[in-house]
């Protein structure tokens, strides 16, 4: 509709195409595994698009508006799968990369949004859902997210940006915003579950 001098025009239907991930197949795989992303709004061509598999960008094989195929990079560990196009990320799904540790661990939550000054913790869980400690933790950008010496560490958001946190063959994708989280921002994925 158009508003002019306090009067609205007639309305016509308009659909906003969202970047939406419907499925990822397979949802686990080692280096070189071809993974098919199916959904909508990916864009007719890759352009500036990025495919995220586990803890790092995947190697794009083909790209269309509804289907993208990418291979798992050699440096990837377990984490999430999602697509970015024109600076906007799709929803995410868990993605497992078997490692020499037998794919022992996953970080929960695997996707986390924070504001500068926030502090959060992650859990490391084994394949039975039990908490694992005594692992080596790392952040890809310590100027964005710092890690305390605790086990598990406290993550502190220091500056706006992005960092990937790794421990025991698992990863968590952390985005830090300078101010309050924008409306509709996913705070964490997947949701934590009670043990009861």
Tell which of 95, 127, 147 closes a domain. 95
116: its two tokens: 């500068």
pLDDT higher than threshold 50 for residue 147 = yes
Whether 53 is covered by a domain: the verdict is yes
Same-domain check for residues 86 and 152: no
Q: Which domain range does residue 32 map to?
A: 20-95
Query: Measuring CA to CA, which residue among 113, 92, 91 is closest to residue 181?
Result: 113
Same-domain check for residues 116 and 84: no
Whether 4 is covered by a domain: the verdict is no
61: domain CATH number?
2.60.40.10
Query: Measuring CA to CA, which residue among 36, 42, 5 is closest to residue 23?
Result: 36
Whether 164 is covered by a domain: the verdict is yes
Confidence of residue 38 (pLDDT cuts 50, 70, 90): very high
Q: What percent of the chain has pLDDT over 70?
A: 91
Cβ atoms within 10 Å of 71's Cβ, excluding its own: 18
Q: In 3-state terms, what secondary structure has residue 111?
A: strand
Flag the least confident range among 95-99, 100-104, 130-134, 141-145: 100-104
Tell which of 95, 118, 138 closes a domain. 95
Whether 9 is covered by a domain: the verdict is no
Cα→Cα distances 85→18, 33, 117, Å: 11, 22, 28
Q: How many domains does the chain have?
A: 2
Please report the pLDDT score of residue 129 as a whole number.
Answer: 81
pLDDT higher than threshold 50 for residue 20 = yes
pLDDT higher than threshold 80 for residue 43 = yes
Please report the pLDDT score of residue 193 as a whole number.
Answer: 42
Same-domain check for residues 172 and 117: yes
Does residue 36 contact residue 82 with C-beta atoms inside 8 Å? Answer: no
91: its two tokens: 């929803």
Length reported for the chain: 196
Scanning the chain, the segments in alpha helix (DSSP H) are none
Please report the pLDDT score of residue 194 as a whole number.
Answer: 38
Q: What percent of the chain has pLDDT over 90?
A: 52
The overall average pLDDT reported for the chain is 87
Whether 8 is covered by a domain: the verdict is no
**pLDDT tens readout for residues 59-115:** 999 999 999 999 999 988 888 999 999 888 888 888 988 864 445 678 889 889 999
Whether 7 is covered by a domain: the verdict is no
Please report the pLDDT score of residue 14 as a whole number.
Answer: 65
Whether 5 is covered by a domain: the verdict is no
Whether 3 is covered by a domain: the verdict is no
Please report the pLDDT score of residue 195 as a whole number.
Answer: 37
Tell which of 95, 119, 151 closes a domain. 95
């Amino acid at each position: 509709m158009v508003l002019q001098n306090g009067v609205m025009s007639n309305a016509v239907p308009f659909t906003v195409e969202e970047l939406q991930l419907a499925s990822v197949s397979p949802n686990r795989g080692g280096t070189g595994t071809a993974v098919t992303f199916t959904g909508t709004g990916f864009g007719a061509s890759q352009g500036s698009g990025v495919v995220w598999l586990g803890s790092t960008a995947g190697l794009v094989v083909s790209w269309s508006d509804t289907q993208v195929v990418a291979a798992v990079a050699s440096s990837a560990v377990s984490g999430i799968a999602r697509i970015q196009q024109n600076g906007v990320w799709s929803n995410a799904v868990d993605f497992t990369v078997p490692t020499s540790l037998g794919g022992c661990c996953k970080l929960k939550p695997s996707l986390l949004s924070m504001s500068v000054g926030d502090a959060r913790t992650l859990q490391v869980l084994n394949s039975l859902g039990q908490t694992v400690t005594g692992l080596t933790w790392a952040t890809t950008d310590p100027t964005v997210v710092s890690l305390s010496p605790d086990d598990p560490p406290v993550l502190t958001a220091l500056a706006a940006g992005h960092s990937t946190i790794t421990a025991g063959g698992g990863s968590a994708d952390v985005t830090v915003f300078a101010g309050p989280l924008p409306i509709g921002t996913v705070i964490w994925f997947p949701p934590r579950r009670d043990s009861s």
